[in-house]
Amino acid sequence: MFNLLKKKNKCHFGINFLIQHCYFNMDCKIMKYLEIEEIIKNTVSSTTTDENGWANLAKVGILLRRKGVKYLKLSKLLRNFTHIIELKSNESTSPAITYIRLKKLE
């Protein structure tokens, strides 16, 4: 689940936003990851706009920032949570609209 790398006495998950405030405490980083995962789940489920569970990614991104999730690029953030989310794009619109939903439990 985590890409753990050692770099200059700092433990990294390969995710810069996770280590911005917790450089020395591994439990803190894991907790931040789990907190962000929970925020993503709640935000996507509360923003869902259709019967299949899809939500507009731009709206989800705005809400994530309002809830205190820090990221430089939303796509890089979400790459770390592909075990819980799915993305799709509607290329027939200009510009293309990207949607997000929680993966269905199998």
SS3 11: strand
Is the pLDDT at 14 greater than 50? The verdict is no
Which tens digits make up the pLDDT trace of 39-76?
999 999 999 888 899 999 999 999 999 998 988 899 88
Q: How confident is the model at residue 98 (pLDDT cuts 50, 70, 90)?
A: very high
pTM above 0.85, yes or no: no
Q: Name the H helices within the chain.
A: 26-47, 57-66, 74-79
pLDDT score for 55: 95
Number of C-alpha atoms within 13 angstroms, CB side, residue 60? 28
Q: How confident is the model at residue 99 (pLDDT cuts 50, 70, 90)?
A: very high
